[in-house]
């Protein structure tokens, strides 16, 4: 089965409104290593996160607690994890030709909230569940 892919059209007002981004799931090896590094960094930042998983609330509870704890991460730990998430994102630069997909260039995303929404969508693509209030498709 091929990796999951979705298109995300930005509908929020701003410089990115109307842009279409294409997201592709990481391969299993990349996704597993990303998850291990992310969970490890989050638990180092907030040891109480491990109890969410250990107490039987499962990966969804751990992920939700982890997303809340992202702000507690040392930027040195967070940057490579966030960068790897954005490697899943491409852009469809020509609305008249939706078959053209290319890697992101530095100015393709002009709003910080677009980056936040795309990260949320990457998370959803890999985990199968949405973070509350962050669906943008």
Structure tokens at 65: 């607690």
Q: List all residues 6 or more positions away from 136 whose beta carbon is below 8 Å from its beta carbon.
A: 8, 9, 10, 11, 12, 117, 120, 121
53-62 pLDDT tens trace? 555 555 555 5
> According to the model, what pLDDT value does residue 128 have?
75
For 50-59, b/e burial (b = at least 16 CB within 10 A) is eebbeeeeee
105-127 pLDDT tens trace? 999 999 999 998 998 888 888 87
Q: Residue 96 half-sphere exposure, CB side, CA atoms within 13 Å? A: 0
- In contact, 120 and 10? CB cutoff 8 Å: no
> According to the model, what pLDDT value does residue 12 have?
95
User: Is the entire prediction scored with pTM above 0.95?
Assistant: no
- In contact, 26 and 37? CB cutoff 8 Å: no
22-71 pLDDT tens trace? 999 999 899 889 888 887 887 777 766 666 555 555 555 555 555 556 66
pLDDT band at 137 (very low <50, low <70, confident <90, very high): very low
- The span from the CA of 105 to the CA of 116, in Å, is 17
Check whether 18 has a pLDDT greater than 90: yes
Q: Residue 77 half-sphere exposure, CB side, CA atoms within 13 Å? A: 16
């Amino acid at each position: 089965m091929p990796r999951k892919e979705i298109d995300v059209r930005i509908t929020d007002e701003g410089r990115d409104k109307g842009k279409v981004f294409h997201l592709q799931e990481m391969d299993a090896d990349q996704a597993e290593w990303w998850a291990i590094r992310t969970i490890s960094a989050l638990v180092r930042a907030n040891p109480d996160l491990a109890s969410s998983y250990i107490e039987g609330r499962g990966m969804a509870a751990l992920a939700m607690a982890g997303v809340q704890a992202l702000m507690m991460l040392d930027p040195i730990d967070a940057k490579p994890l966030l960068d790897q998430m954005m490697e899943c994102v491409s852009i469809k630069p020509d609305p008249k030709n939706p078959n053209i997909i290319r890697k992101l260039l530095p100015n393709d995303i002009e709003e910080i909230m677009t980056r936040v929404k795309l990260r949320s969508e990457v998370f959803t693509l890999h985990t199968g569940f949405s973070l509350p209030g962050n669906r943008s498709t």
